[in-house]
Amino acid sequence: METVTLSAGTPEETRDAVTEAVTLLNKGSIVALPTETVYGLAANAFNAEACTAIFEAKERPSFDPLIVHVSGKKMLDSIVNIPPDIEETVDILIREFWPGPLTMVLPKKNIIPDIVTAGLQTVAVRRSKNPIFSEIIKELDLPLAAPSANIFGSMSPTSATAVHTELSNRIPLIIDGGACSDGVESTIIRIESTERPKPNFHLLRPGPVTVEMLKKFGKILRGQDSQSENERPNSPGQLASHYSPRTPLRIVNCPENFKADPSKSYALLSYRGQEKDGYLSIHDWKEIQILSPGSGKLPEAAVRFFFSLRKLDESGADEIIAEPIPGKGVGLAILDRLQRAAL
């Protein structure tokens, strides 16, 4: 299969790209689309055969459920049954964070095929704020199942070029909408009603909607739903080993702990590239990628994370050494991806 990439850089190009994507999706094809987080591999969420093609193209195990994207509350209500005890909370979160990178795990209606949810009675749902994705789902008027557009377990793509590297000749179309604005996958939560004024939010995957943003609306519980390698995930984003480059990766929490093997070459993933942090000068690195040069701004680091990791993976080094990332704000999401990549 030849993979075509269509640019969406001008209004005319965007119109043509949207039309082609909608045509293919209506025919049951899969299409790589930009979102604000990472590029997604989309299919009509009501079409079990099309969604099966996602699993095949990604080599994704069928027990790992997909995220379903909606155009708004009306489409959401058509695919989920929101329990009355959390309905007010869901409405608050929609007003506060949608469209945007927040995914909620909710009870599904039978209209969603079991292949999408890996047989679970819940479905993970979100609404993207990317204008190209939004236009396509609006014109299609159907929910889109869309996990990251990469081979299962590897680094998520934040550019059309990265999608092509991952899925060339496996999918018919990539829409090039430029670099993703957030750079890491969406936050995933499960909502639990309590007798307290605020509900519990089980943080299933940290992302751009941070703990600090969410705690205004509920109590954050971490790790309650995490899965071991031998357990079936009960939502997307739960497998321990994931987001991995081909090159082995190791997090070194302080420079003194790094001991180089003379027979190996090493590349460095630096947080802010400052000499005072102690990593730059401890080795003759084959390549260095800096997530947020000088300033250490976590949102910038998130945007550059997968791009930088891909550069290091392509450097030919025997091992990637990663500096630690502050576990606050979106840094928690970066650290989560690093820890899974290191397994």
Q: Is residue 90 part of a domain?
A: yes
CA distance 118 to 54: 13
The answer to whether the beta carbons of residues 3 and 173 sit under 8 Å apart is yes
Angle between helices 331-341 and 298-313 (to 10 degrees): 20
Q: Which two tokens stand for residue 32?
A: 């790589």
Domain count, the chain: 2
- Among 67, 69, 29, 78, which Cα is nearest to 49's? 29
Contacts of residue 128, Cβ cutoff 8 Å, sequence gap at least 6: 35, 36, 37, 40, 69, 99, 100, 134, 137
- Choose the final residue of a domain: 151, 176, 201: 176
Q: Identify the DSSP state of 148.
A: B
Looking at the structure, tell me whether residues 271 and 163 fall in a common domain: no
Per-residue pLDDT of the chain (343 residues; tens, 9 = 90+): 899 999 999 999 999 999 999 999 999 999 999 999 999 999 999 999 999 999 999 999 999 999 999 999 999 999 999 999 999 999 999 999 999 999 999 999 999 999 999 999 999 999 999 999 999 999 999 999 999 999 999 999 999 999 999 999 999 999 999 999 999 999 999 999 988 889 999 999 999 999 999 999 999 998 644 444 446 788 888 777 788 899 999 999 999 999 999 999 999 999 999 999 999 999 999 999 999 998 899 999 999 999 999 999 999 999 999 999 999 999 999 999 999 999 8
Distance (Å, whole) CA 314 – CA 308: 10
Q: Could you tell me if residue 113 is inside a domain?
A: yes
Torsion sign over Cα 90, 92, 95, 100: negative
Domain-embedded: residue 190: no
Q: Residue 130's closest CA among 183, 89, 204? A: 183
CATH number at residue 311: 3.40.50.11030
Beta strands in the chain, from DSSP E residues, in sequence order:
4-7, 31-33, 40-44, 67-69, 100-107, 122-127, 144-145, 173-176, 187-192, 200-205, 219-222, 249-251, 266-270, 287-290, 319-322
Q: What is the pLDDT of residue 223?
A: 63
Q: Give the residue from 121, 145, 176 where a domain finishes.
A: 176
Q: How far apart are CA 53 and CA 305, in angstroms?
A: 28
Question: DSSP alpha helices (H): ranges in 240-328?
Answer: 298-313
Same domain flag for 19 and 133? yes
Instruction: Tell whether 299 and 162 lie within a shared domain.
Output: no
Is residue 185 in a domain? no
Please indicate, yes or no, if residue 212 is contained in any of the structural domains: no
On whether residue 238 sits in a domain, the answer given is no
∠ Cα 181 183 188 (to 5°)? 110
On whether both 40 and 129 belong to a single domain, the answer is yes
CATH code, 15:
3.90.870.10
Domain assignment of residue 171, yes or no = yes
Sign of the Cα torsion 190, 331, 233, 56 reads positive
* Domain, as residue range, for 332: 249-341
Residue where one domain finishes, among candidates 176, 201, 228: 176
